[in-house]
Amino acid sequence: MTPFERRTETVQAALGDIGADALVCVPGRTLQYLTGFEEPQRDRHLLFVVPRSGEPAAFLPSLSAAQFRTETWVREVDTWGDGDDPVAALSAFFDDRGVPAAPHLLVDDTMWATFLQDVRSVRPDATVGLASEVVADIRLRKDDAEIDALRRASAAADDALRAVRALGADAVGLTEAELAGRIESFLADAGGEGVSFEPIVGSGPNGAMPHHTHGDREIRAGEPVVLDFGTRIDGYPSDQTRTVVFDGDPDERVSEVHEVVRRAQEAAVDAVEPGVTAGSVDDAARSVVEDAGYGDAFIHRTGHGVGLDIHEPPNIAAGNDTELRPGMAFSVEPGIYLDGEFGVRIEDLVAVTPDGAERLNHTPRGGEC
């Protein structure tokens, strides 16, 4: 049995627990999570129906049938052609698949309103909830295949970071955008599949803006550069940040701030174990920064969950009472940002294990190249 089938069976059990008749999803993360099929939502009706019991089935345009059968485990596939009325075909599909006349359906959170209206038109007495009612908690804990993909994506980011550090003094004089382009090449060389988000290269004062991407400012000797990037492997992303000086020596304040952030990140990772709250991990990092006198300059949460989406639950944020459980994966990325001067952020992905935390990134966290 594939991981996708196991996940679908878990969803079916959850549907039974809450009394829902079926899950109805469209192209997007839920469909990808349950079948491995990845494409954007388009104008044609493509639905995957997971009943509370029985065989899941897909309803899709004829032009997608061969691809869907080849790329997924799904055995029951019904098609409709461009000359057909898709709503009439959907009605027949629901009838053939035993969808009750007045079902409780959980529909994809990202389903377009036009498709939802068509579902309602063929089952006007349906009550409708959101797929996240059952899928969100299941996706929160990654299975072995997901953790393995996150490890491999993180290893590719590690390899790319080593190549970036190896530039040393040769990076001085490059623009942020030019270095971002090289990072994308290094990620591809490491086996990555594109980028998981637009690479961040924040040099000097630009590093004090956490989500600055990259611009035409040239990298200078002796100043810190925030590097935040990742790639995807088998659909799963990496996300790593280091703050480095490419040539020359940073001033004492940069070194001081860098060490505070490094200690904060270490404290947060050390705090990770099953049963503690997400908020307590944030507290561990934040207390180090506050004790050093930079509390007001730590202006974001300590981390975010990661899975098929680069940002997903759990948020590692103050006040979040979500208890950590084995299989959860998230970033740990404290930062200090001094407006108009510089910023420092250090980030690794971690996975919760029965005994604590597994770091998925393994490159040095210091600021030297």
Residue in this structure with the two tokens 């799904």, named with its chain if needed: 74
C-alpha separations of 299 from 120, 171, 197, 290, 369 in Å? 44, 29, 21, 12, 27
Q: φ and ψ at 315, to 5 degrees? A: -80, 130
| CATH code of the domain covering residue 297 | 3.90.230.10
186 and 167, same structural domain? Answer: yes
Q: What is the DSSP string of 238-295?
A: --EEEEEE-SS---HHHHHHHHHHHHHHHHHHHH--TTSBHHHHHHHHHHHHHHTT-G
Q: What's the token pair of residue 275?
A: 């049963």
Residue 368 forms part of a structural domain: no
Beta strands in the chain (DSSP E): 22-25, 47-51, 57-61, 76-80, 104-107, 127-130, 200-203, 224-229, 232-233, 236-237, 240-245, 303-305, 312-316, 329-332, 335-338, 342-345, 348-353, 356-359
| CATH code of the domain covering residue 90 | 3.40.350.10
Count other Cβ atoms within 10 Å, centred on residue 141: 15
User: What is the average pLDDT value for the chain, to the nearest integer?
Assistant: 97
Contact 176, 202 (CB under 8 A): yes
116 and 131, same structural domain? Answer: yes
Q: What's the token pair of residue 333?
A: 């990325």
Q: How confident is the model over 147-180, as pLDDT tens digits? A: 999 999 999 999 999 999 999 999 999 999 999 9
Q: How many residues does the chain have?
A: 369
195 and 67, same structural domain? Answer: no
Residue, of 1 and 317, whose pLDDT is higher = 317
pLDDT at 243: 98
Residue 243 forms part of a structural domain: yes
Q: How confident is the model over 8-57, as pLDDT tens digits? A: 999 999 999 999 999 999 999 999 999 999 999 999 999 999 999 999 99
Q: Residue 194: what residue type? A: G
Residue 366 forms part of a structural domain: no
Measured CA to CA, the distance from residue 246 to residue 367 in angstroms comes to: 9
Using the 3D structure, point to which of 139, 173, 202 is the last residue of a domain: 139
Q: Residue 161: what residue type? A: L
Residue 369 forms part of a structural domain: no
Contact 240, 158 (CB under 8 A): yes
pLDDT at 368: 86
The angle, 0 to 180 degrees and rounded to 10, between the axes of the packed helices 3-18 and 132-140 is 130
pLDDT at 207: 98
Q: How confident is the model at residue 326 (pLDDT cuts 50, 70, 90)?
A: very high
Residue 216 forms part of a structural domain: yes
320 and 223, same structural domain? Answer: yes
pTM for the full model? Answer: 0.95
Using the 3D structure, point to which of 111, 139, 167 is the last residue of a domain: 139
Using the 3D structure, point to which of 118, 139, 160 is the last residue of a domain: 139
Q: Is the dihedral of CA 275, 281, 283, 284 positive or negative?
A: positive
7 and 68, same structural domain? Answer: yes
pLDDT of 281 > 90? The answer is yes
Q: What's the token pair of residue 245?
A: 């000086």
Q: How confident is the model over 169-217, as pLDDT tens digits? A: 999 999 999 999 999 999 999 999 999 999 999 999 999 999 999 999 9
Residue 293 forms part of a structural domain: yes
301 and 190, same structural domain? Answer: yes
Residue 233 forms part of a structural domain: yes
Q: What is the mean pLDDT of residues 316-323?
A: 98
Domain count, the chain: 2
Measured CA to CA, the distance from residue 154 to residue 40 in angstroms comes to: 25
162 and 132, same structural domain? Answer: no
304 and 228, same structural domain? Answer: yes
Residue in this structure with the two tokens 């490159």, named with its chain if needed: 363
298 and 198, same structural domain? Answer: yes
Q: Give every CB contact of residue 46 below 8 A, 6+ residues apart in sequence.
A: 26, 27, 58, 59, 60, 61, 64
Over its C-alpha atoms, the chain yields an Rg (Å, rounded) of 23
108 and 175, same structural domain? Answer: no
Residue in this structure with the two tokens 């089938």, named with its chain if needed: 5
Q: Which domain holds residue 117?
A: 3-139
Q: How confident is the model at residue 330 (pLDDT cuts 50, 70, 90)?
A: very high
201 and 268, same structural domain? Answer: yes
Residue 367 forms part of a structural domain: no
272 and 123, same structural domain? Answer: no
